[in-house]
Amino acid sequence: MGPKSELAYRTIRERVESGQYPPGSKLPSERKLIETIDIGRTALRQVLARLVREGLIEVYGRSSYRVPSQGAGVTPPDDLEPWKIHGERPLYDNRWVRLSMAEVQPPGMEPFEHHVVHLHHVAIAAIVDDRDRVLMLWRYRFVPQSFGWELPGGIVDPGEDAKATALREVEEETGWRPVELDHVVTYQPMIGMVDSPHEIFVGRGAERVGDPTDLEEAGHVAWVPLAEIPSMMQRGELAGSGTLVALLHILASRREASTDVG
């Protein structure tokens, strides 16, 4: 980041750490921050995205930010012990999946063997336009033998940044290039046995750059109104976990923002 961005970053960080922006409080609007800190909108959003990644602030609603509440919710215990892993041996390995057998031991129990499936690191992106529509693909998946709506996304290549993967996959699969993209959550879809980190990104706006280039992954591309998402869930048209997590995040953020305004 440039000098102005670094100054804006330090200014907002100091205001949070000093309590000028106390826990649970909303940050001033982007327009107000632009005026008071003397920074452009694009640079400001890069600064805010960095602060979100560092956990100093959080996103709620459309381009709205606040300082996380401290001490809210349930506090996890700090006296539990992790499982011991005495070893892990491979059973099957190729470029797509690795299956192994681990010898594990929960606290106070005897060791036992546990299957572990290692899949790829994945990045998924939800792009929303100024008409409250999300960029999606209608695809056929042969494993469940069904069609469904999905968000663009794919495997993070070795040494590649997950955000770069998300940007690349959106363009390759849809022909649209995102204007901005922010990380919102990383999760494991089947944490009991499968290791496959999924990183979710949300952005606003995209420009049309051509036709999809990844023909294997591409499907019917459409801008789907967010208002239709709940009924699509009820009809079972959104089966992918990354798609569901991203869309539920967007819907929850919008509902919370409308509640705050009310």
Residue 134 has what pLDDT?
Answer: 97
Cβ-based neighbours of 219, under 8 Å, separated by 6 or more: 137, 138, 139, 140, 150, 173
CA distance 165 to 58: 23
Mean predicted lDDT score pLDDT of the chain? 89
Give Cα 89 distance to the centre of its chain. Answer: 32
**Helix, strand, coil % in the chain, rounded to nearest 5:** 30, 30, 40
Gap between the Cα atoms of 262 and 260, Å rounded: 5
- pLDDT for the residue 257: 55
Integer Cα distance of 186 and 183 in angstroms: 8
Query: How much is the average pLDDT of 134-156?
Result: 94
Higher pLDDT, 256 or 10: 10
d(CA 204, CA 62): 9
pLDDT-based confidence at 256, cuts 50/70/90? Answer: low
| Cα–Cα separations (whole angstroms), residue 97 to 91, 117, 124 | 11, 7, 19
pLDDT at 201: 95
Prediction pTM value: 0.72
71 or 101: which leads in pLDDT:
101
Q: Residue 66's pLDDT band (boundaries 50, 70, 90)?
A: confident
Q: Residue 19: what pLDDT?
A: 85
Mean pLDDT of 191-204: 95
Per-residue pLDDT, averaged over 236-248, amounts to: 94
pLDDT at 261 > cutoff 60: no
Give yes or no for a contact between 136 and 128, defined as CB atoms under 8 angstroms apart: no
Among 68-72, 84-88, 141-145, the least confident range: 68-72
pLDDT at 240: 92
Q: What is the pLDDT of residues 214-230, one digit of tens each?
A: 777 667 999 999 999 99
